Amino acid sequence: DAGVTQSPTHLIKTRGQHVTLRCSPISGHKSVSWYQQVLGQGPQFIFQYYEKEERGRGNFPDRFSARQFPNYSSELNVNALLLGDSALYLCASSLVGGTTDTQYFGPGTRLTVL
């Protein structure tokens, strides 16, 4: 079975632009979470979606938004990019997004903002 897939693998943008990152969860998983990982740090929680509804949001500005589609795939959108948005963006899927569900991570999208 395929694991979590993310696209694109790498992305280079300039300040002020917007970006859309995509994620497909493990088959049968209905919850998707997004994390930002800056070099040398642990991942930081951005959003969790379950059954197309936002379940939780981390401490990120409104420039960050996400949505989940009927097939459970998800998009993360970032507007008005800043240099500080350069990071590895990770998507994780879990069965139902419950409190004890294990989150399985994809390979990530490396975003570089110039």
Partner 1 sequence: EDQVTQSPEALRLQEGESSSLNCSYTVSGLRGLFWYRQDPGKGPEFLFTLYSAGEEKEKERLKATLTKKESFLHITAPKPEDSATYLCAVQAGGGADGLTFGKGTHLIIQP
What does the binding site for partner 1 look like in residue numbers (CB under 8 A)? 4, 33, 35, 40-46, 48, 55-58, 88, 90, 97, 99-100, 102-108, 110
CB 106, CB 5: distance < 8 Å: yes
Indicate the residue among 16 and 39 with the shorter CB distance to partner 1. Answer: 39
Q: Closest Cα to residue 29, out of 66, 57, 71, 77?
A: 71
Q: Which is nearer to partner 1, 28 or 40 (CB)?
A: 40
Closest separation between CB of residue 4 and partner 1, Å? 8
Of 35 and 72, nearer to partner 1 (C-beta) is 35
Sequence-ordered alpha helix ranges (H) in 18-66:
none
Distance CA 81, CA 109 (A): 15
